[in-house]
Structure 1
Amino acid sequence: MTAQSATAQRAVAPADLAYVAVFAALIAALSLAPAFAVGPVPITLQTFGVALAALCLGPWRGLAAVALYVGVGVAGLPVFAGGRAGISVLLGPTGGYVASFLVSAFLMGLAARIIVRRRERLAALWLFLATVVVRLVVVWPLGAAGLVFGGGMGWREAFALDLTFWPGDLLKNLVAVLVAVAVHKAFPRLLGR
Protein backbone atom coordinates (compact mmCIF):
# COMPACT_ATOMS: atom_id res chain seq x y z
CA MET A 1 0.00 0.00 0.00
CA THR A 2 1.38 3.37 -0.97
CA ALA A 3 1.48 6.34 1.38
CA GLN A 4 -1.07 8.08 -0.82
CA SER A 5 -3.60 5.23 -0.63
CA ALA A 6 -3.08 4.89 3.14
CA THR A 7 -3.80 8.59 3.53
CA ALA A 8 -6.89 8.26 1.33
CA GLN A 9 -8.17 5.35 3.43
CA ARG A 10 -7.72 7.35 6.63
CA ALA A 11 -9.57 10.27 5.05
CA VAL A 12 -12.52 8.08 4.05
CA ALA A 13 -13.01 6.29 7.38
CA PRO A 14 -14.32 9.31 9.31
CA ALA A 15 -16.79 10.03 6.50
CA ASP A 16 -18.01 6.44 6.63
CA LEU A 17 -18.48 6.68 10.38
CA ALA A 18 -20.36 9.94 9.95
CA TYR A 19 -22.67 8.41 7.33
CA VAL A 20 -23.37 5.43 9.58
CA ALA A 21 -24.07 7.63 12.61
CA VAL A 22 -26.29 10.05 10.70
CA PHE A 23 -28.41 7.29 9.18
CA ALA A 24 -28.67 5.45 12.52
CA ALA A 25 -29.92 8.69 14.08
CA LEU A 26 -32.34 9.18 11.19
CA ILE A 27 -33.79 5.69 11.69
CA ALA A 28 -34.18 6.40 15.41
CA ALA A 29 -35.92 9.72 14.74
CA LEU A 30 -38.26 8.10 12.22
CA SER A 31 -39.02 5.34 14.74
CA LEU A 32 -40.08 7.88 17.34
CA ALA A 33 -42.36 9.82 15.02
CA PRO A 34 -46.00 9.47 16.08
CA ALA A 35 -47.27 6.03 15.23
CA PHE A 36 -50.43 4.04 15.38
CA ALA A 37 -50.65 0.33 16.01
CA VAL A 38 -52.21 -2.48 14.04
CA GLY A 39 -52.43 -5.25 16.59
CA PRO A 40 -49.14 -5.39 18.48
CA VAL A 41 -47.15 -3.75 15.66
CA PRO A 42 -46.72 0.04 15.54
CA ILE A 43 -46.66 1.63 12.12
CA THR A 44 -43.85 4.18 11.88
CA LEU A 45 -41.48 5.57 9.26
CA GLN A 46 -38.76 3.29 10.64
CA THR A 47 -38.83 0.99 7.59
CA PHE A 48 -38.41 4.03 5.34
CA GLY A 49 -35.24 4.92 7.26
CA VAL A 50 -33.86 1.39 6.97
CA ALA A 51 -34.49 1.29 3.22
CA LEU A 52 -33.03 4.77 2.75
CA ALA A 53 -29.87 3.90 4.69
CA ALA A 54 -29.36 0.74 2.65
CA LEU A 55 -30.10 2.30 -0.72
CA CYS A 56 -27.88 5.33 -0.08
CA LEU A 57 -24.96 3.74 1.77
CA GLY A 58 -24.72 0.29 0.21
CA PRO A 59 -24.53 -3.09 1.94
CA TRP A 60 -21.87 -2.64 4.62
CA ARG A 61 -22.42 0.94 5.71
CA GLY A 62 -26.20 0.48 5.46
CA LEU A 63 -25.95 -2.63 7.62
CA ALA A 64 -23.67 -0.79 10.05
CA ALA A 65 -26.18 2.08 10.38
CA VAL A 66 -29.03 -0.34 11.11
CA ALA A 67 -26.86 -2.41 13.47
CA LEU A 68 -25.91 0.75 15.36
CA TYR A 69 -29.58 1.70 15.65
CA VAL A 70 -30.57 -1.78 16.87
CA GLY A 71 -27.54 -1.99 19.16
CA VAL A 72 -28.25 1.26 20.99
CA GLY A 73 -31.90 0.24 21.32
CA VAL A 74 -31.02 -3.13 22.80
CA ALA A 75 -28.49 -1.41 25.09
CA GLY A 76 -31.31 0.63 26.61
CA LEU A 77 -31.65 3.88 24.70
CA PRO A 78 -35.35 4.45 23.91
CA VAL A 79 -35.03 4.50 20.11
CA PHE A 80 -37.51 1.80 19.15
CA ALA A 81 -41.09 2.62 18.19
CA GLY A 82 -43.01 4.21 21.03
CA GLY A 83 -39.79 5.07 22.89
CA ARG A 84 -39.20 1.45 23.86
CA ALA A 85 -35.80 -0.08 24.48
CA GLY A 86 -34.08 -3.25 25.61
CA ILE A 87 -33.78 -6.87 24.57
CA SER A 88 -37.48 -7.37 25.30
CA VAL A 89 -38.27 -5.63 22.02
CA LEU A 90 -36.35 -8.31 20.12
CA LEU A 91 -38.08 -11.07 22.06
CA GLY A 92 -41.56 -9.57 21.67
CA PRO A 93 -44.02 -9.60 18.77
CA THR A 94 -42.10 -6.97 16.78
CA GLY A 95 -38.70 -8.62 17.24
CA GLY A 96 -38.88 -10.38 13.89
CA TYR A 97 -39.33 -7.08 12.12
CA VAL A 98 -36.39 -5.51 13.96
CA ALA A 99 -34.21 -8.53 13.13
CA SER A 100 -35.29 -8.32 9.49
CA PHE A 101 -33.96 -4.76 9.32
CA LEU A 102 -30.39 -6.08 9.53
CA VAL A 103 -30.76 -8.63 6.73
CA SER A 104 -32.86 -6.38 4.52
CA ALA A 105 -30.43 -3.46 4.89
CA PHE A 106 -27.57 -5.61 3.63
CA LEU A 107 -29.56 -7.06 0.72
CA MET A 108 -31.09 -3.73 -0.37
CA GLY A 109 -27.66 -2.11 -0.10
CA LEU A 110 -26.11 -4.84 -2.22
CA ALA A 111 -28.80 -4.34 -4.86
CA ALA A 112 -28.21 -0.59 -4.78
CA ARG A 113 -24.47 -1.03 -5.24
CA ILE A 114 -24.95 -3.30 -8.26
CA ILE A 115 -27.70 -1.25 -9.90
CA VAL A 116 -26.22 2.21 -9.29
CA ARG A 117 -22.72 1.20 -10.36
CA ARG A 118 -24.06 -0.20 -13.63
CA ARG A 119 -25.76 3.13 -14.26
CA GLU A 120 -28.97 1.41 -15.26
CA ARG A 121 -31.41 3.62 -17.15
CA LEU A 122 -34.27 2.22 -15.12
CA ALA A 123 -32.39 2.32 -11.83
CA ALA A 124 -35.44 3.47 -9.85
CA LEU A 125 -37.56 0.62 -11.18
CA TRP A 126 -34.87 -2.00 -10.48
CA LEU A 127 -34.24 -0.62 -7.00
CA PHE A 128 -37.95 -0.65 -6.23
CA LEU A 129 -38.27 -4.25 -7.43
CA ALA A 130 -35.29 -5.18 -5.25
CA THR A 131 -36.98 -3.67 -2.19
CA VAL A 132 -40.17 -5.60 -2.98
CA VAL A 133 -38.26 -8.88 -3.28
CA VAL A 134 -36.46 -8.23 0.02
CA ARG A 135 -39.82 -7.43 1.63
CA LEU A 136 -41.22 -10.70 0.33
CA VAL A 137 -38.34 -13.04 1.21
CA VAL A 138 -36.93 -11.42 4.37
CA VAL A 139 -39.26 -8.98 6.13
CA TRP A 140 -42.51 -10.91 5.66
CA PRO A 141 -41.26 -14.28 6.99
CA LEU A 142 -39.14 -12.85 9.84
CA GLY A 143 -41.86 -10.41 10.87
CA ALA A 144 -44.43 -13.20 10.91
CA ALA A 145 -42.06 -15.41 12.89
CA GLY A 146 -41.76 -12.68 15.51
CA LEU A 147 -45.53 -12.41 15.73
CA VAL A 148 -45.81 -16.19 16.15
CA PHE A 149 -42.99 -16.76 18.66
CA GLY A 150 -43.05 -13.43 20.47
CA GLY A 151 -46.72 -12.58 20.17
CA GLY A 152 -48.40 -15.95 20.47
CA MET A 153 -50.22 -15.74 17.11
CA GLY A 154 -50.77 -18.56 14.69
CA TRP A 155 -48.93 -18.49 11.37
CA ARG A 156 -52.04 -17.74 9.34
CA GLU A 157 -53.00 -14.86 11.64
CA ALA A 158 -49.44 -13.50 11.57
CA PHE A 159 -49.22 -13.53 7.76
CA ALA A 160 -52.68 -11.95 7.51
CA LEU A 161 -51.67 -9.17 9.90
CA ASP A 162 -48.46 -8.59 7.97
CA LEU A 163 -50.43 -8.12 4.75
CA THR A 164 -52.01 -5.00 6.23
CA PHE A 165 -48.56 -3.36 6.25
CA TRP A 166 -47.80 -4.00 2.58
CA PRO A 167 -49.42 -0.91 1.01
CA GLY A 168 -47.65 1.45 3.40
CA ASP A 169 -44.34 -0.40 3.13
CA LEU A 170 -44.48 -0.33 -0.66
CA LEU A 171 -45.14 3.41 -0.59
CA LYS A 172 -42.29 3.99 1.88
CA ASN A 173 -39.94 1.89 -0.27
CA LEU A 174 -40.94 3.82 -3.40
CA VAL A 175 -40.18 7.15 -1.71
CA ALA A 176 -36.87 5.77 -0.36
CA VAL A 177 -35.91 4.65 -3.88
CA LEU A 178 -36.73 8.06 -5.37
CA VAL A 179 -34.73 9.84 -2.67
CA ALA A 180 -31.80 7.42 -3.07
CA VAL A 181 -31.72 7.88 -6.85
CA ALA A 182 -31.60 11.66 -6.34
CA VAL A 183 -28.85 11.28 -3.72
CA HIS A 184 -26.75 9.14 -6.08
CA LYS A 185 -27.17 11.67 -8.88
CA ALA A 186 -25.98 14.44 -6.55
CA PHE A 187 -23.20 12.32 -4.96
CA PRO A 188 -22.14 9.78 -7.60
CA ARG A 189 -19.21 8.51 -5.53
CA LEU A 190 -21.25 7.75 -2.40
CA LEU A 191 -21.15 4.01 -3.07
CA GLY A 192 -17.39 4.12 -3.58
CA ARG A 193 -17.01 3.94 -7.35
Structure 2
Amino acid sequence: MSRNALPDSPLSSLHKLVWTALCAALIGAGAYLIVPIGPVPVSMQPFFIFLAGYLLGPRHAVLAMGLYLLAGTIGLPVFAGGKSGLGYLLGPTGGYLVGFLGTAFVCGLARTREGALPWFRGALAGLAAVSIAYAMGAAWLKIVLDVSWTKAAAVGVLPFIPWDILKVVVALACARYMVRLGLTPDGRQA
Protein backbone atom coordinates (compact mmCIF):
# COMPACT_ATOMS: atom_id res chain seq x y z
CA MET A 1 0.00 0.00 0.00
CA SER A 2 1.41 3.40 -0.93
CA ARG A 3 2.04 6.07 1.64
CA ASN A 4 -0.99 8.12 0.60
CA ALA A 5 -3.43 5.28 0.09
CA LEU A 6 -6.52 5.13 2.22
CA PRO A 7 -6.60 2.19 4.58
CA ASP A 8 -9.20 -0.26 3.33
CA SER A 9 -10.77 -1.37 6.57
CA PRO A 10 -14.35 -2.10 7.56
CA LEU A 11 -13.68 0.02 10.65
CA SER A 12 -12.56 3.14 8.76
CA SER A 13 -16.05 4.72 8.94
CA LEU A 14 -16.21 4.05 12.65
CA HIS A 15 -12.71 5.47 13.03
CA LYS A 16 -13.79 8.72 11.38
CA LEU A 17 -16.89 8.94 13.59
CA VAL A 18 -14.74 8.51 16.69
CA TRP A 19 -12.49 11.35 15.50
CA THR A 20 -15.61 13.45 14.86
CA ALA A 21 -16.87 12.88 18.41
CA LEU A 22 -13.40 13.57 19.80
CA CYS A 23 -13.23 16.88 17.93
CA ALA A 24 -16.71 17.82 19.22
CA ALA A 25 -15.47 17.13 22.76
CA LEU A 26 -12.34 19.23 22.15
CA ILE A 27 -14.48 22.11 20.88
CA GLY A 28 -16.46 21.86 24.11
CA ALA A 29 -13.29 21.78 26.20
CA GLY A 30 -11.96 24.81 24.31
CA ALA A 31 -15.09 26.73 25.32
CA TYR A 32 -13.99 26.40 28.96
CA LEU A 33 -10.64 28.01 28.27
CA ILE A 34 -11.80 31.64 28.14
CA VAL A 35 -10.70 35.18 28.86
CA PRO A 36 -13.85 37.27 29.48
CA ILE A 37 -13.25 40.63 27.78
CA GLY A 38 -16.84 41.68 27.09
CA PRO A 39 -20.04 40.21 25.69
CA VAL A 40 -17.98 37.83 23.55
CA PRO A 41 -15.16 36.05 25.43
CA VAL A 42 -11.82 35.01 23.92
CA SER A 43 -11.73 31.21 23.99
CA MET A 44 -9.73 28.32 22.59
CA GLN A 45 -12.86 27.05 20.90
CA PRO A 46 -11.97 28.44 17.43
CA PHE A 47 -8.58 26.70 17.62
CA PHE A 48 -10.28 23.31 17.95
CA ILE A 49 -12.81 24.18 15.23
CA PHE A 50 -9.98 25.05 12.83
CA LEU A 51 -8.16 21.86 13.82
CA ALA A 52 -11.32 19.77 13.30
CA GLY A 53 -11.76 21.23 9.84
CA TYR A 54 -8.15 20.68 8.85
CA LEU A 55 -8.17 17.07 10.08
CA LEU A 56 -11.70 15.84 9.40
CA GLY A 57 -12.57 17.50 6.12
CA PRO A 58 -15.68 19.59 5.53
CA ARG A 59 -18.43 17.04 6.15
CA HIS A 60 -17.16 15.55 9.39
CA ALA A 61 -15.96 18.91 10.72
CA VAL A 62 -19.50 20.26 10.33
CA LEU A 63 -20.79 17.11 12.03
CA ALA A 64 -18.40 17.69 14.95
CA MET A 65 -19.52 21.31 15.28
CA GLY A 66 -23.16 20.27 14.94
CA LEU A 67 -22.73 17.63 17.64
CA TYR A 68 -21.21 20.27 19.91
CA LEU A 69 -24.11 22.67 19.25
CA LEU A 70 -26.65 19.92 19.85
CA ALA A 71 -24.99 18.98 23.15
CA GLY A 72 -25.11 22.59 24.33
CA THR A 73 -28.65 23.16 23.13
CA ILE A 74 -30.05 20.14 24.97
CA GLY A 75 -28.47 21.28 28.22
CA LEU A 76 -24.94 19.93 28.49
CA PRO A 77 -22.69 22.70 29.87
CA VAL A 78 -20.39 22.94 26.86
CA PHE A 79 -20.79 26.58 25.84
CA ALA A 80 -18.32 29.24 27.01
CA GLY A 81 -18.14 29.41 30.77
CA GLY A 82 -20.13 26.19 31.25
CA LYS A 83 -23.37 27.62 29.88
CA SER A 84 -25.98 25.65 27.97
CA GLY A 85 -29.46 25.78 26.53
CA LEU A 86 -31.31 27.30 23.62
CA GLY A 87 -31.37 30.67 25.41
CA TYR A 88 -27.57 30.83 25.28
CA LEU A 89 -27.61 29.92 21.60
CA LEU A 90 -30.02 32.82 21.00
CA GLY A 91 -27.92 35.20 23.14
CA PRO A 92 -25.14 37.59 22.05
CA THR A 93 -22.67 34.84 21.07
CA GLY A 94 -25.21 32.73 19.16
CA GLY A 95 -24.22 34.13 15.78
CA TYR A 96 -20.63 33.08 16.32
CA LEU A 97 -21.68 29.59 17.37
CA VAL A 98 -23.82 29.13 14.25
CA GLY A 99 -21.11 30.78 12.12
CA PHE A 100 -18.66 28.17 13.39
CA LEU A 101 -20.50 25.59 11.25
CA GLY A 102 -19.27 27.52 8.20
CA THR A 103 -15.86 27.92 9.79
CA ALA A 104 -15.50 24.16 10.21
CA PHE A 105 -16.67 23.54 6.64
CA VAL A 106 -14.28 26.04 5.04
CA CYS A 107 -11.27 24.83 7.03
CA GLY A 108 -12.18 21.32 5.93
CA LEU A 109 -11.76 22.36 2.30
CA ALA A 110 -8.04 23.06 2.84
CA ARG A 111 -6.85 19.46 2.51
CA THR A 112 -6.05 18.25 -0.98
CA ARG A 113 -7.35 15.00 -2.47
CA GLU A 114 -3.99 13.44 -1.72
CA GLY A 115 -4.39 14.34 1.95
CA ALA A 116 -1.78 17.10 2.01
CA LEU A 117 -2.38 20.35 3.87
CA PRO A 118 -0.38 23.13 2.17
CA TRP A 119 0.43 26.22 4.24
CA PHE A 120 -0.99 28.75 1.81
CA ARG A 121 -4.19 26.84 1.17
CA GLY A 122 -4.67 26.18 4.90
CA ALA A 123 -4.02 29.79 5.88
CA LEU A 124 -6.35 31.10 3.19
CA ALA A 125 -9.09 28.69 4.29
CA GLY A 126 -8.54 29.65 7.94
CA LEU A 127 -8.83 33.37 7.24
CA ALA A 128 -11.95 32.85 5.11
CA ALA A 129 -13.40 30.62 7.83
CA VAL A 130 -12.81 33.20 10.55
CA SER A 131 -14.46 35.82 8.36
CA ILE A 132 -17.62 33.72 8.23
CA ALA A 133 -17.77 33.50 12.01
CA TYR A 134 -17.12 37.25 12.33
CA ALA A 135 -19.80 38.17 9.80
CA MET A 136 -22.48 35.99 11.38
CA GLY A 137 -21.40 36.84 14.91
CA ALA A 138 -21.32 40.60 14.41
CA ALA A 139 -24.67 40.57 12.59
CA TRP A 140 -26.30 38.61 15.42
CA LEU A 141 -24.59 40.78 18.05
CA LYS A 142 -25.98 43.88 16.33
CA ILE A 143 -29.50 42.44 16.44
CA VAL A 144 -29.43 41.06 19.99
CA LEU A 145 -27.73 44.06 21.62
CA ASP A 146 -29.42 46.60 19.32
CA VAL A 147 -26.17 48.39 18.53
CA SER A 148 -24.68 49.92 15.39
CA TRP A 149 -22.50 47.96 12.97
CA THR A 150 -19.51 49.95 14.20
CA LYS A 151 -20.18 49.02 17.83
CA ALA A 152 -20.81 45.36 16.92
CA ALA A 153 -17.49 45.24 15.07
CA ALA A 154 -15.69 47.06 17.88
CA VAL A 155 -16.81 44.61 20.58
CA GLY A 156 -17.32 41.44 18.55
CA VAL A 157 -14.63 41.40 15.87
CA LEU A 158 -11.68 43.77 16.30
CA PRO A 159 -10.41 42.50 19.69
CA PHE A 160 -10.34 38.94 18.36
CA ILE A 161 -8.48 39.37 15.07
CA PRO A 162 -4.91 38.94 16.40
CA TRP A 163 -5.93 36.00 18.62
CA ASP A 164 -7.78 34.24 15.82
CA ILE A 165 -4.97 34.70 13.31
CA LEU A 166 -2.63 33.12 15.87
CA LYS A 167 -5.12 30.25 16.41
CA VAL A 168 -5.35 29.63 12.65
CA VAL A 169 -1.55 29.45 12.34
CA VAL A 170 -1.11 27.17 15.36
CA ALA A 171 -4.03 24.90 14.36
CA LEU A 172 -2.64 24.66 10.83
CA ALA A 173 0.85 23.83 12.15
CA CYS A 174 -0.58 21.15 14.46
CA ALA A 175 -2.74 19.67 11.70
CA ARG A 176 0.17 19.62 9.23
CA TYR A 177 2.31 17.83 11.81
CA MET A 178 -0.43 15.30 12.49
CA VAL A 179 -0.97 14.74 8.75
CA ARG A 180 2.77 14.24 8.25
CA LEU A 181 2.75 11.55 10.97
CA GLY A 182 -0.42 9.92 9.63
CA LEU A 183 -2.34 10.81 12.81
CA THR A 184 -5.55 11.61 10.97
CA PRO A 185 -9.00 10.04 10.76
CA ASP A 186 -8.16 8.50 7.40
CA GLY A 187 -4.60 7.53 8.33
CA ARG A 188 -3.12 9.29 5.32
CA GLN A 189 0.32 10.80 5.42
CA ALA A 190 1.55 13.61 3.24
TM-score for both structures, normalised by structure 1: 0.86
Q: Which runs of 5+ in 1 are unaligned?
A: 1-7
Shift of 1:152: 2.4
CA distance in 1, matches of 2:184, 2:172: 17
Mark the CA change 1:129 to 1:175 in structure 2 (over 3 Å): closer, same or farther.
same
> Residue type of the partner of 1:117?
E
Corresponding residue SS for 2:41: strand
Counterpart residue type for residue 128 of structure 2: V
Shift of 1:190: 3.9
Taking structure 1 as reference, are residues 118 and 50 closer, same or farther at Cα in structure 2, changes over 3 Å only? closer
Q: Deviations over 1:100-128 (max 9, x none)?
A: 1111101110222x3x63747xx123201
Deviation at 1:187, TM superposition (A): 1.2
Q: 1:148 aligns with which of 142, 158, 175?
A: 142
What corresponds to 2:24 in structure 1?
Answer: 24
Q: Name the SS of the counterpart of 2:67 in structure 1.
A: helix
Corresponding residue for residue 57 of structure 1: 56
Please, which of 161, 166, 181 is the counterpart of residue 166 of structure 1?
Answer: 161
Does 2:12 match 1:12?
yes
The amino acid across from 1:131 in the alignment is G
Q: 1:27 to 1:188 in 2, by over 3 A?
A: closer
CA distance in 1, matches of 2:77, 2:105: 24
Inter-partner Cα distance in structure 2 for 1:61 and 1:9:
18
Alpha-carbon offset, residue 153 of structure 1: 2.1
1:79 and 2:78 aligned: yes
Aligned residues: 180
Distance in 2 separating the partners of 1:117 and 1:110: 13
Secondary structure of residue in 1 paired with 2:92: coil
- Letter in structure 2 aligned against 1:163: L
Q: Distance in 2 between matches of 1:23 and 1:133?
A: 21
Question: What RMSD over aligned residues (CA atoms) do the two structures have, in Å?
Answer: 1.9
> Which structure's residues are more often helix, by fraction?
1
Q: Distance in 2 between matches of 1:118 and 1:172?
A: 21
1:161-186 deviation per Cα after TM superposition (whole angstroms, max 9, x unaligned)? 21110000000111000001011111
Map 1:27-176; keep pairs closer than 5 Å. 27-33=27-33, 35-112=34-111, 114=112, 117=114, 119=116, 123-136=118-131, 138-161=132-155, 162-176=157-171
Distance 2:77 2:127 in 1: 29
Query: Given residue 64 of structure 1, which amino acid in structure 2 is its aligned partner?
Result: L
DSSP 3-state at the match of 2:11: helix
Normalised by the length of structure 2, the TM-score is 0.87
Query: Quick one: distance in 2 between partners of 1:172 and 1:119?
Result: 20
Give SS of 1:165's match: helix
Report 1 or 2 for greater relative contact order, CA contacts < 8 Å, sequence distance ≥ 6: 2
Q: Distance in 2 between matches of 1:119 and 1:29?
A: 27
Q: Is the 8 A contact 1:94 1:150 kept in 2?
A: no
Q: Does the CA-based 8 Å contact 2:55-2:185 persist in structure 1?
A: yes
